[in-house]
Amino acid sequence: MKALVLIPSYNSGAKLIETVREARAAWAPIWVVVDGSTDGSEAAVQAAAAEDPELRVLVLGKNGGKGGAVLHGLRAAQAEGFTHALVMDADGQHSAGEIPVFMAAARAAPEAMILGKPVFGGDAPLLRVRGRRISNWWANFETLGLGIGDSLFGFRVYPVEPLLRIMERSRWMRRFDFDPEAAVRLCWAGIRPINLPAPVRYLRPDEGGVSHFHYGRDNVLLTSMHVRLVLGMLARLPRLIRLRKAMRP
């Protein structure tokens, strides 16, 4: 196992360099994919990378979405022999202190994907907490209950080769639909999910919190994604039934 931490970032503000420093204290190497940012947040990270060989910054000239940034990072990671990538958000929501725990779980089960299951605090918006239950229900329906603990939480360790193979074959999974579709399609490919608890913070704007979630647009995107995945599940149903029997304890 050769693993890195991959942080996609779009206009993450001052939280980006804070997140990178925290992640770098917990792991090496750290790669940041700057997804067409226009706020200058990458400058501090590039300056840090100039003095740290374990920190790399990949810059995309045009915003292509979280999934597109992850795909760019995965291609570069595979080219350098990395087998696993822990993907985390750049906005300070995820705890870098959990990185060694998740990497240890991946090392113990390198054939699996390690999915974070969020532990919410009092700062979590009730609408977001309740709303994700819908996506979680659909994701487990689409995988016949193979055990996706949370379909939307972006703190995960992925095996690089199968995820890259899936993404290269699909025109989807490039934006906010990346996290749930990646989990579902990896289950379809026989990649076992392992769920680990992970704290999540929802930062206020005065704390540097930045959110690019658009309630209407992104829920339409998720709805169309789940329609597509249900159709894909029905087309694969006999094989998925056999897979469920093989993967379930």
User: How far apart are alpha carbons 39 and 212 in whole angstroms?
Assistant: 13
User: Residue 104: which domain range?
Assistant: 3-247
Total structural domains in the chain?
Answer: 1
Nearest to 98 by CA among 35, 150, 154: 154
Question: Is residue 91 within 8 Å of 15, Cβ to Cβ?
Answer: yes
Please give the single-letter amino acid code of residue 34: V
- Per-residue pLDDT tens, the chain, 249 aa: give them: 999 999 999 999 999 999 999 999 999 999 999 999 999 999 999 999 999 999 999 999 999 899 999 999 999 999 999 999 999 999 989 999 999 999 999 999 999 999 999 998 877 777 667 778 889 999 999 999 999 999 999 999 999 999 999 999 988 898 888 999 999 999 999 999 999 999 998 876 666 666 655 656 666 888 899 999 999 999 999 999 999 888 866
Buried b (16+ CB within 10 A) or exposed e, 99-133: beebbebbeeeeebbbbbebeeeeeeeeebeeebe
Q: What is the CATH number of the domain that holds 106?
A: 3.90.550.10
